[in-house]
Amino acid sequence: MLRRLSLAVAGGLLLASAVAGCGGDDAGSGSGGGGDDKITLGFSQVGAESGWRTANTKSIQESAASAGIDLKFSDAQGKQENQIKAIRNFITQRVDVIAFSPVVESGWGTVLKEAKDAGIPVILTDRAIDDPDTSLYKTFIGSDFVEEGKKAGDWLVKEYEGKTDPVNIVELQGSPGAAPANDRKAGFADVIKADTKFKVVASQTGQFTRTDGKAVMETFLKSQPKIDVLYAHNDDMGLGAIEAIEAAGKKPGTDIKIITVDAVKDGMTALSENKINFIVECSPLLGPQLMDLVKKVQDGQTIPQRVLTEETTFTPEQAKEVLADRKY
């Protein structure tokens, strides 16, 4: 514990000096010279906003190491400007391949054009961009968020099959403008619109965080006379909402049915305790697939424009079975 703390303090000082220096000292360490055959991959991560993201980062770092790829990792801390800066740095360092998870969908044209002009292939991971020019990137590997929303909707339709009473749904959206938020909302809405008994009575952003999920749910519980179902775009917001529901004297999973997306360990634990009713998996472990694609791109092989990660869904019973092996 003390070691970790002193590490933290040391790290803080290091960061402080980085602020002061702001230099690109490591620009020379890129493999631009081509002295060795090691592929250099510049990766810009969204941030560390959730357990999911952390598992995603770990998977990429570990699989890069085992694939013998030199990884330059940069954390954008949830800000697009940081990410654009990181990509520009990768271009100056002349990395072999750039991969990144876009913080938001729009505004990538200019910087990706720069990468293209520099002849550096770009791979999108986990989140898409909305630029019509698909030549800006080689491929997009990640989950199909629309499909995730549809899976959530499918479960709901099945759960209320044969019933005619109206079902009031509240939705906790992810960060506004982020692809998973937009698509999970659209996919879900697409499935439930077939039946008029389903009604989304309120839909607000919980910023993908537990605190905001709790705060928004607290307000929903007071402003909505009747809530049957909660659909949260990730586990963390769902977990926050569970606390709000409990504080309101209701039983999560029983009085209000809860569907979330992600299937991180905390969420799976709540699912196994029947506080959540259904989780659509969104697997963060795309590192090995990504490294494979990086190698193929570097070899000049053609790769598909869209690569899907393998995913499933979980009920409480299934959660109990796999919970012990859940790494993230």
Partner 1 sequence: MNLTALLRHRLFWPIAVLVVLLASNLVFSNNFFTITLQDGHLYGSLIDILRRSAPLVLVALGMTLVISTGGIDLSVGSVMAISGALACLLIGDLSNPDSVGPVLLVVGAAIALCLVFGLWNGFLVAVLGIQPIIATLILMVAGRGVAQLITDGQILNVHSAPYRVVGAGYFLAVPVSFLIAAAAVALTVAVTRRTALGLLLESVGGSPTASRLAGIRARRITIMVYVFAAAFAGVAGLIYSSDVSSADSNAAGNLIELNAILAVVIGGTALTGGRFSIAGSVLGAVIITTLDITAVSVGVPVETTLLFKAVVVIILCLAQSATFRAKVFGRFSAKRTVPA
Chain residues binding partner 1 by CB under 8 A are 1, 4-5, 7-9, 11-13, 15-16, 19, 47-51, 54, 57, 77-78, 173, 176, 202-205, 207, 209-212, 214-216, 218-220, 222-223, 236, 239-240, 243, 247-249, 266
Compare residues 229 and 239 and give the one whose CB is closer to partner 1.
239
CB of 27 to partner 1, least distance (A): 21
Task: Give the tokens for residue 25.
Answer: 């000292």
Compare residues 91 and 268 and give the one whose CB is closer to partner 1.
268
DSSP state for residue 309 in the 8-state scheme: P
Three-state SS for 164?
coil
C-alpha distances out from residue 170 to 151, 163, 216, 252, Å: 17, 19, 10, 14
Compare residues 151 and 210 and give the one whose CB is closer to partner 1.
210
Task: Give the tokens for residue 118.
Answer: 């520099």
Residues 6+ apart with CB under 8 A from 327: 55, 265
CB of 237 to partner 1, least distance (A): 11
The beta strands (E) that lie in the chain are given as 40-45, 70-75, 97-100, 122-125, 139-142, 167-173, 198-205, 229-232, 257-262, 278-281, 306-308, 313-314
The beta strands (E) that lie in 188-322 are given as 198-205, 229-232, 257-262, 278-281, 306-308, 313-314
With vertex at residue 302, the alpha carbon angle to CA 299 and CA 304, rounded to the nearest 5 degrees, is: 130
Q: How many CB atoms lie within 10 A of CB 181?
A: 23
Compare residues 131 and 266 and give the one whose CB is closer to partner 1.
266
CB of 219 to partner 1, least distance (A): 4
CB of 202 to partner 1, least distance (A): 6
Q: How far apart are the C-alpha atoms of 321 and 263, rounded to whole Å?
A: 13
- Reference 95, options 161, 34, 175, 7; nearest CA is 34
Compare residues 219 and 305 and give the one whose CB is closer to partner 1.
219
CB of 36 to partner 1, least distance (A): 30
Compare residues 16 and 27 and give the one whose CB is closer to partner 1.
16
CB of 305 to partner 1, least distance (A): 29
CB of 76 to partner 1, least distance (A): 11
Compare residues 50 and 272 and give the one whose CB is closer to partner 1.
50
Compare residues 235 and 281 and give the one whose CB is closer to partner 1.
235
CB of 9 to partner 1, least distance (A): 7
